[in-house]
Chains A and B, each alone.
Chain A
Amino acid sequence: MLMTCSEAIEKYVHDGDTIAVGGFTTNRKPYALIREIIRQGKKKLYVEGSGSGGEIDLLIGAGCVKLLVNAYLSNGAFGNIGRRFKRAVERAELEFEDYSLDVQPLRLHAAALGLPFIAVSSLLAGSDLEKKWGISAGKYLQDPKLPPAKLLVDKNPFNPEERLVYLPSPKIDVALIHVQKAAYDCTARIEGPVFIDVDLIMAARHTIISCEELVDPEELRREPWLNQIPSIIPDAIVHLPFGAHPSQCVNYYDYDPQMMYLYDYVCRDDGLYQGFLNDYIYSLQGHQEYLDKVNRYCLNKLMVGEKNYVENLVRSNNRS
């Protein structure tokens, strides 16, 4: 169903829900949906992260997250460690679990296929990812939002010589995905890398899709093999041009280095950070006001051409 951003978040994201977010670090992150979650003051979210970037750092920094299942969290060269994530862990304000960027996508893939677990050989062996659990065994058993354990090491039933790590599939309430094109009938198309997004959608109970362009269903149905998300799956479609800003969106725009550096800068100080949240989220009515604040002139400079990145984009840090 076609909805406004605030309607979609209000209807499908609830305090205490487990969310999963599409894209990868600085690519096609559903920032506008994330900013709306923060604006509405959602609390105690569980996040099944895989290639997390600044959007998860922002959610943590705004106090929306209770627990993060982490595999990676970074804005690349624009800020290698999510500073709010880092600070929240160091201050014991965030519960967390660690997997790798191999087993976490496999867990999400298993969840999408309706499998209760997935088993791997050799991955995690000898590491503390296997030995140390961020969340206690007791909490795994008690908390209905979590699977029954981080993992289980046992022999392969078909080949008892082989040692396997069994990983339970995560349970996800809402998937938040930004795509290039969606239609009125809720058919949606990711142009560019899909990362693990289709799996997130199929693993989740609900899906909110934001899109660069809202198009006539006939345009997408002409080539159904290019669409990954069938009309019957999304719960909400929200039309949000530049909805992935400041991350990249293939065929539309590049990342915004100055916004990325600004974020990394304000992350270093609690006062500056609150000011940033206020300036770019709380004080604004919604996405349109955000775009006005970022400034149309700056956004236009990010539009990509044939190379799918802006060739002469200034990527030096003006703040240092």
Chain B
Amino acid sequence: MTAKHVEESGYTRREMMAVALARQIKDGMVCIAGTGLPLLGATLAKLTSAPNSIIISETGIIDGRLDQLPIGVSDTRFAYRASTWWPRYRYCGFLIKMRDKINLGFLGGAQIDPYGNLNSTSIGDYHHPSIRFTGSGGANGIATNVNTVIIMRHEKRRFVDKVDYLTSPGWIDGESGRKKLGLPDKGPSAVVTTLGIMRFDQKSRRMYVGECYPGVSAEEIKENTGFTIDLSRAVLSDPPDDHILSVLRQIDKDRLYI
């Protein structure tokens, strides 16, 4: 992100990404949000366009008011005036048994393949990795049980043909990939990146460019993607309005995420 770009548009790409994430949450939706940008997007949605959405944390928090931005999924800020804070195994049971009550889960990762399979474990050989990450956390369960929106930094080394470690299943290898493995009939619907929003073809389940952020060309997304990606359906995203930008900057005034 260059200072020049901020001057011209009035916002950074990371801010655009947070706004794009918040737009995925429609009012009244039930969503699971994890640490990082998903939490920022969920808090932003809750305070602007989706005040009646219900946000869930993998630590068992159901429907917190999110008055202040939490630093993680066990932060008491996530649970402010929440309905319930369950023991952990209750969340697991809820996810498995009541998956149809949950509209969306948000996931982040280090690598993604054309079918939305995600790696948040390690780069290189699993036993002797060149880079190690936190590991699954709640991601595997979320990807298994509910429809997801994935958050990624858009870089060639992150958008790869094959992930080094498959932490969270996406569409596996296409149309019948999940069914073959006995995975529930859910899957990733969008990848919100630093450059735009990628979606998955209804039939082939392969990723394509859905939206480019203002100032980003489809060509730029192609150059930053490590696999062949269809550009023909790309449209331009609406820029963020001043109100949402001011709320975003206010809730993250400590610059925890942006």
The interface of chain A, by Cβ under 8 A from chain B, is: 23-27, 50-51, 70-78, 80-82, 85-86, 89-90, 92, 98-103, 105-106, 109, 120-129, 132, 134, 162-163, 192-196, 198-199, 248, 250, 254-255, 257, 304, 307-309, 311, 314-317
- Point out the residue from A51, A73, A98 that lies within 8 Å of B88, measured CB to CB: A51
The secondary structure that dominates the A interface is loop
What are the residues of chain B within 8 A of A129 when measuring CB–CB? 136, 140, 167
Q: How large is the interface on B (under 10, 10 to 19, 20 to 34, 35 or more residues)?
A: 35 or more
In the assembled complex, the CB of A212 is this many whole angstroms from the nearest CB of chain B, namely: 15
What 6 A-B pairs have minimum CB-CB distances, sorted nearest first? A76-B72, A102-B141, A72-B137, A100-B140, A24-B74, A100-B136
Q: How far does the alpha carbon of A251 sit from the alpha carbon of B52 in the complex, in Å?
A: 28
What are the residues of chain B within 8 A of A314 when measuring CB–CB? 254
Given that A86-B133, A100-B136, A134-B127 are known contacts, is A193 also in contact with B141, CB under 8 Å in the complex? no
Is there contact, CB below 8 Å, between B68 and A309?
yes
Is there contact, CB below 8 Å, between A127 and B129?
no
Residue of B nearest to A86 (CB): B132
B85 within 8 Å of A (CB atoms): yes
What are the residues of chain B within 8 A of A27 when measuring CB–CB? 59, 74-76
Residue of B nearest to A136 (CB): B127
Q: How far does the alpha carbon of A50 sit from the alpha carbon of B153 in the complex, in Å?
A: 27
What are the residues of chain A within 8 A of B87 when measuring CB–CB? 193-196, 198-199
B79 within 8 Å of A (CB atoms): yes
What are the residues of chain A within 8 A of B95 when measuring CB–CB? 102
In the assembled complex, the CB of B150 is this many whole angstroms from the nearest CB of chain A, namely: 15
In the assembled complex, the CB of A298 is this many whole angstroms from the nearest CB of chain B, namely: 17
Is there contact, CB below 8 Å, between A125 and B144?
yes
What are the residues of chain B within 8 A of A198 when measuring CB–CB? 87
Q: How far does the alpha carbon of A124 sit from the alpha carbon of B166 in the complex, in Å?
A: 10
B60 within 8 Å of A (CB atoms): yes
- Point out the residue from B76, B77, B183, B256 that lies within 8 Å of A125, measured CB to CB: B183
What are the residues of chain B within 8 A of A163 when measuring CB–CB? 182
In the assembled complex, the CB of A203 is this many whole angstroms from the nearest CB of chain B, namely: 12
Is there contact, CB below 8 Å, between A126 and B71?
no
B257 within 8 Å of A (CB atoms): yes
